[in-house]
């Protein structure tokens, strides 16, 4: 199943805003999954591998408990996705 940006109303309305700044916009797991095309478990595995460079989440509370709320910086997730596209293009060349 392919997910598009229009399936995320919160994100779509933010992009339409003249004050939108991807470097300060935090997105939650469903948006990250939609952008990178991977599920939660794979994303967390990638975060454990320093060599892959997947962005680390931002803690949304002071809690250290498992399941504490986190979010990702939109521009960092987009940059990671672009790096994967560039790596594909370099191999193809």
Structural domain range at position 26: 5-92
CATH number at residue 84: 1.10.1660
User: Taking 70 as the threshold, does the pLDDT of residue 8 lie above it?
Assistant: no
pLDDT 10s digits, 11-53: 665 556 667 899 999 999 999 999 999 999 999 999 999 999 9
Q: What is the pTM of this model?
A: 0.77
Whether the CB-CB separation of 35 and 49 falls below 8 Å is answered with: no
Residues ≥6 apart with Cβ < 8 Å to 5 = 11, 12, 15, 34
Q: Which residue has the tokens 């300060």?
A: 24
Number of folded domains in the chain?
1
């Amino acid at each position: 199943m392919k997910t598009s940006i229009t399936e995320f109303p919160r994100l779509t309305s933010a992009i339409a805003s003249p004050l939108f700044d991807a470097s300060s916009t935090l997105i939650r797991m469903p948006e990250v999954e939609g952008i990178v095309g991977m599920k939660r478990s794979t994303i967390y595995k990638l975060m454990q591998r320093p060599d892959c460079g997947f962005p680390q989440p931002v803690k949304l509370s002071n809690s250290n408990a498992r399941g504490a709320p986190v979010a990702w910086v939109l521009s960092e997730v987009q940059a990671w996705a672009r790096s994967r596209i560039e790596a594909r293009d370099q191999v193809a060349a």
